[in-house]
Amino acid sequence: MSITDTAPSDSADTGAGAASAEADRAAERVRRREPSAVLRMSEAEAAAIGGDPDDADDDELVLLNMGPSHPSTHGVLRLMLELSGETVLRSKPVIGYLHTGMEKTGEQLTYMQGGTNVTRMDYASPLFNELAFCLATERLLGIDVPERATWIRMLMCELNRVSSHLLFMATNGMDLGAVSMMIYGWREREEVLRFFEKVTGLRMNHNYIRPGGVAADLPADWRTDVARLIELIEPRLTEYDTLLTGQPIWRERLQGVGVISAAEAVALGATGPLLRGAGMAWDLRRDEPYLFYDQVDFDVIVGTHGDCYDRYAIRLNEIRESLRIVAQIIEAMPSGDYRVQDKKVTPPPRSRIDASMEALIHHFKIFTEGFKVPPGEAYAAVESPRGELGVYLVSDGTSVPYRVHVRAPSFINLQTLPHLMQNGLIADGVAIISSVDPIMGEVDR
């Protein structure tokens, strides 16, 4: 067969290949313009398409990186934004810049040591991480915590919810230009952290809630300290109302911005103020009670519009409800043990270690070898300031978990960002990120 005989076949193949390539480019342009809020392309795709001369209709579109080193992304969160002018068409949250491998690390630590690991995930509300881990461990052990220890856990967690929401008030104000709110929110949070330091020895990452109870009893004058906190913070919340809630600029920046419906929030797995802001009254403290929340009176704060303003108002009023719970705990706190009196789980009192060799050996074995947990699996969830925080543990009968997994609310809530930001302005994007209140230590755990 001669060369001239094969030429027509080659020409046909070349034409088919060109047509296929053009069809692929056309399909890619359609994909780029799909109505989805999520920007589904990698950096390599973005770079390749950005130089495509056939995209004449996209001359005004810009792909912009926001973060991961940005003061308004609340840590090392990165956003890829597709912009038309200052309008966000689609976006893509990019995580992993703070990855710590805490779940796999937890599978190398004993159950006693696990609290020092999980407390660093959501570092704005560390006591909730410790609580969820300990509740799951105690379910595997099949032990009941003394009543006083349970009330202490409630007290500390509700005060931690107050400090976390005060941090939100401070940073939310800063993000939107209300700089004085940063000062005030930080000021009140410091008072709560001082109390934590008095009780646990640390301002953050306490390792205070432990399997079987808590690390130490409350100080003798704790009622006076807590009553002073309530007396200090409650009138300051009224000042926040005056400063922000009715302020016209504040309302314009938040109302109607970052709207999400209850159905959308449920479909995306959102919980906490993000879900309640959309109008769904779901709070684990009331709907799936744990600790002694069924013995205290409080309201579940719910929004109506699902916008940034609702999420702000919910957190402000949840501070009031937490203080209301704390006031009831002061009256209900019983006497008794602050941890179970089970030598297999509980180390000896610190005062006995210096006087007894047996106590010293017991203490050494508990903190080095840990305690064995019966085989099985357990899941425990608590209502953290950001939503449902759950810990799933699998035990193989040793002193170290076989599997640790955390249902982190910041991680789940973060996937709502593209839907909240679509067709909004970049400046609205800053307000929306702040309203979701993500903690990246929990996202990249």
Q: What residue numbers bound the domain in which 84 lies?
A: 24-94
Evaluate whether 122 touches 410 at the Cβ level (below 8 Å): yes
Residues in CB range of 142: below 8 A, 6 or more apart: 374
Amino acid in position 12: A
Compute the Cα dihedral for 231, 322, 298, 278 and give only its sign.
Answer: positive
Q: Tell me, yes or no, whether 367 lies in a domain.
A: yes
Tell whether the model's pLDDT for residue 332 goes beyond 80: yes
Tell whether the model's pLDDT for residue 12 goes beyond 50: no
DSSP string covering 83-139, please? Answer: EETTEEEEEEEE--TT---HHHHHTSS-TTTHHHHHTTSSTTSHHHHHHHHHHHHHH
Segment 68-72 mean pLDDT: 88
Evaluate whether 200 touches 208 at the Cβ level (below 8 Å): yes
Give the Cα separation of 150 and 430 in Å (integer). 39
CATH number at residue 364: 1.10.645.10
Tell whether the model's pLDDT for residue 299 goes beyond 90: yes
Helix (H) or strand (E) holding 151: helix 147-175
Tell whether the model's pLDDT for residue 24 goes beyond 80: no
Q: Report residue 49's pLDDT band, with 50, 70 and 90 as the boundaries.
A: low
Strands laid side by side in the 78-84 sheet:
61-66, 78-84, 87-94, 424-425
pLDDT for the residue 44: 73
Give the Cα separation of 209 and 212 in Å (integer). 9
pLDDT for the residue 34: 58
Q: Are residues 158 and 236 in the same domain?
A: yes
Which of 16-30, 38-52, 118-132, 234-248 is least confident? 16-30
Q: Are residues 58 and 201 in the same domain?
A: no
**Bigger pLDDT: 372 or 40?**
372
pLDDT for the residue 246: 87
The domain boundary, picked from 74, 94, 114, lies at: 94
Q: Are residues 108 and 79 in the same domain?
A: no
pLDDT for the residue 26: 57
pTM: 0.89
Q: Report residue 348's pLDDT band, with 50, 70 and 90 as the boundaries.
A: confident
Q: Which of 425, 198, 220 is closest to 333 using CA atoms?
A: 220
pLDDT for the residue 38: 87
Q: Are residues 205 and 342 in the same domain?
A: yes
Q: Report residue 441's pLDDT band, with 50, 70 and 90 as the boundaries.
A: very high
Q: Please count the structural domains in the chain.
A: 2
The domain boundary, picked from 94, 126, 146, lies at: 94
Q: Which of 120, 123, 73, 77 is closest to 96 using CA atoms?
A: 77
pLDDT single digits (tens) 138-169:
999 999 999 999 999 999 999 999 999 999 99
pLDDT for the residue 161: 98
Q: Report residue 22's pLDDT band, with 50, 70 and 90 as the boundaries.
A: low
Give the Cα separation of 167 and 190 in Å (integer). 10
Q: Tell me, yes or no, whether 439 lies in a domain.
A: no
pLDDT for the residue 6: 39
Q: Are residues 311 and 226 in the same domain?
A: yes
Instruction: Compute how many other C-beta atoms are within 10 angstroms of the C-beta atom of residue 346.
Output: 20
**Bigger pLDDT: 104 or 58?**
104
Q: Tell me, yes or no, whether 311 lies in a domain.
A: yes
Give the Cα separation of 140 and 72 in Å (integer). 41
Tell whether the model's pLDDT for residue 3 goes beyond 50: no
Percentage with pLDDT > 70 across the chain: 89
Structure tokens at 414: 């973060």
pLDDT single digits (tens) 381-440:
999 999 999 999 999 999 999 999 999 999 999 999 999 999 999 999 999 999 999 999
Q: Are residues 174 and 33 in the same domain?
A: no
Q: Which of 334, 336, 335, 361 is closest to 347 using CA atoms?
A: 361
Give the Cα separation of 213 and 208 in Å (integer). 9
Residues in CB range of 282: below 8 A, 6 or more apart: 271, 275, 276, 300
Q: Report residue 251's pLDDT band, with 50, 70 and 90 as the boundaries.
A: very high
Helix (H) or strand (E) holding 191: helix 179-200
Q: Are residues 167 and 192 in the same domain?
A: yes
Q: Tell me, yes or no, whether 402 lies in a domain.
A: yes
- What φ, ψ does residue 225 adopt, rounded to 5°? -65, -45
Tell whether the model's pLDDT for residue 27 goes beyond 80: no
Q: Report residue 71's pLDDT band, with 50, 70 and 90 as the boundaries.
A: confident
pLDDT for the residue 333: 97
Q: Tell me, yes or no, whether 9 lies in a domain.
A: no
pLDDT for the residue 344: 87
Tell whether the model's pLDDT for residue 283 goes beyond 70: yes
pLDDT for the residue 235: 96
pLDDT for the residue 124: 96
Q: Are residues 249 and 346 in the same domain?
A: yes
Identify any residues that bridge with 299 across adjacent strands, giving them in sequence order.
none
pLDDT for the residue 10: 47
User: Which residue's entry shows tokens 């599997």?
Assistant: 403
DSSP string covering 297-340, please? Answer: -------SS-SHHHHHHHHHHHHHHHHHHHHHHHHH---S-SB-
Q: Indicate the average pLDDT of the chain.
A: 90
Alpha-carbon torsion, ordered 369, 371, 375, 377, to 10 deg:
-100
Q: Tell me, yes or no, whether 40 lies in a domain.
A: yes
Helix (H, G, I), strand (E, B) or coil at 79: strand
Q: Report residue 9's pLDDT band, with 50, 70 and 90 as the boundaries.
A: very low
pLDDT for the residue 29: 53
Evaluate whether 411 touches 234 at the Cβ level (below 8 Å): no
Give the Cα separation of 284 and 415 in Å (integer). 21
Tell whether the model's pLDDT for residue 19 goes beyond 80: no
Q: Are residues 255 and 160 in the same domain?
A: yes
Q: Are residues 35 and 120 in the same domain?
A: no
The domain boundary, picked from 44, 73, 94, lies at: 94
Q: Are residues 155 and 51 in the same domain?
A: no
Q: Tell me, yes or no, whether 328 lies in a domain.
A: yes
| Exposure on the CB side of residue 384, measured as CA atoms within 13 A | 34
Alpha-carbon distance values, 89 to 113, 355, 412 (Å): 46, 69, 22
pLDDT for the residue 50: 55
Q: Are residues 136 and 226 in the same domain?
A: yes
Percentage with pLDDT > 90 across the chain: 78
Q: Tell me, yes or no, whether 293 lies in a domain.
A: yes
Q: Report residue 57's pLDDT band, with 50, 70 and 90 as the boundaries.
A: low
Q: Which of 349, 440, 386 is closest to 168 using CA atoms?
A: 386
